[in-house]
Structure 1
């Protein structure tokens, strides 16, 4: 029979074993619980940047592996950065994501080099790529100079991807955008568009003239106007038309009410602006295609949604024969695509891939 002292010691030992087991198997920092928590955080991070359609992430302890076919470099970079920031790294003991392995691929390795600047409420958001660290630093410095204390910068490196003269084009884009009350500048490949509003008619004329001449090696235009005024540009180049529409659409995805072809109000306004831009294009019709989801209306709903997009763009005064509605197959990566009809091009060229969740917005 154990003495009272030995009973106390035995009880203490049993409690020690129980607490140890609890720490190993039930604690939030236990291997299984930690990995599950990080998996949830990483999945939510991909959803937050609208990458859940093409990217997936798998946790192995505190190491995340991201896979998928990215539509472009910007989407690829945003997804990887979102996973990196999904849970504080902080080292192994702190219980965060310590490493992200990139196993994603680009859908089109020759995708257009892109740099986008959005001026809203006096603040600049600059996203896209620079071909080298020195150019990236000069671009960041210029943005801070033009928009002191008002610039949000997310320019990443993409060696070898920029067209000749990209830096001159970027300087022109930021310089002219800084003169507007609000607007967007977009470089895609060797095409450059600045669009926006200024209350000063002289500024509007000056920006138009600057973009009409444009930087060497680039085709460019300005879709700028005074409030209540109209754009005066004529765009005959299909690639420049594509860039103008993309600039007008903005960085947010087009969204519908769940299970319907009813556009959200922000999307309807955005598409009206895109219609204003397309009205300046003298090209073949614009093909609007929406991906069919067999679990949500299939081809009929997809075609109805394409029609709703066209209707919203036609509010800019465009005739019905300027558009064609189409359906993307269910396995297509893009939720929505815009393209210039192939009748004018050797091959059908894509205007924009909207990789957000076009089906629903709560």
Structure 2
């Protein structure tokens, strides 16, 4: 064997020995061993920093590649900082305070932040044959379910570009509440539902009493513990309200519609109610007051300008008191009722004609927030 061949074989043998040492020899020769130990140290640092639930380390030589989906940008920064500061106490040739490794954070993803909605709402407006949805659901799956239910009832007449994903949904089957309200609304010519936390309100107009009753039956399927209220007007029937209505505007409209053009009639110059029709009307008002139990109802008494102003004010106060006491006798919470007499101070018509004076003699109901 020539000299050159001997040298060549020697180089090959030395290379093999070096490779074996690198793979199997203890520190300081085992770079692979250092890499493994460093990876364990980095993972421990991630765990101790509170990021171990989502972050793991993949070591390649001295590169610590962090992999996972961080719940936030701050969590990512925390994990990277912990990984950089990790120390391998058992790594060979380690110098105190110096890093043996580098950190690669390119594989860390940041989870999409889902906002919290408060209040948690969902509305549906049905007009001209089109249902427009607007509000919140808890996930993409919940949104898909909502739209599938809507399209099963309304076909391709559904607009959903304002549905958003948010946390904060109440402790109830939100999709079931939406399904019940959409089903009820589908029986109306036009209307809307408003869901807000643990309450909903359906308002609108039905072509018949049967359609109105079908809408009410759909609302009766709402989950237990959820307050589903309604105020529906029907052709050939009176306005019907159900549940506890938590909208001052709707309550005011309810009283207006129930009263219509009817008057509460009193004996001449006295505070006694003089006919049965007035009592029937007040019975309906008492029922409405119970459905609007979260609001204050002010009973306002008004007179015409015939006679002294002081006398008229006293008479209007007594008449307002009579109406308020009747409502209370029918089970309305006394704390919910106020009675105020304004006398002739707020006319709505000309006091120089009999018709105008008759219009000014009236009882009005005003809804306001509880104090």
What is the TM-score when the length of structure 2 is the normalising length? 0.38
User: Which is bigger in relative contact order (C-alpha 8 A, separation at least 6)?
Assistant: 1
> Which has the higher Rg, Structure 1 or Structure 2?
2
What is the TM-score when the length of structure 1 is the normalising length? 0.39
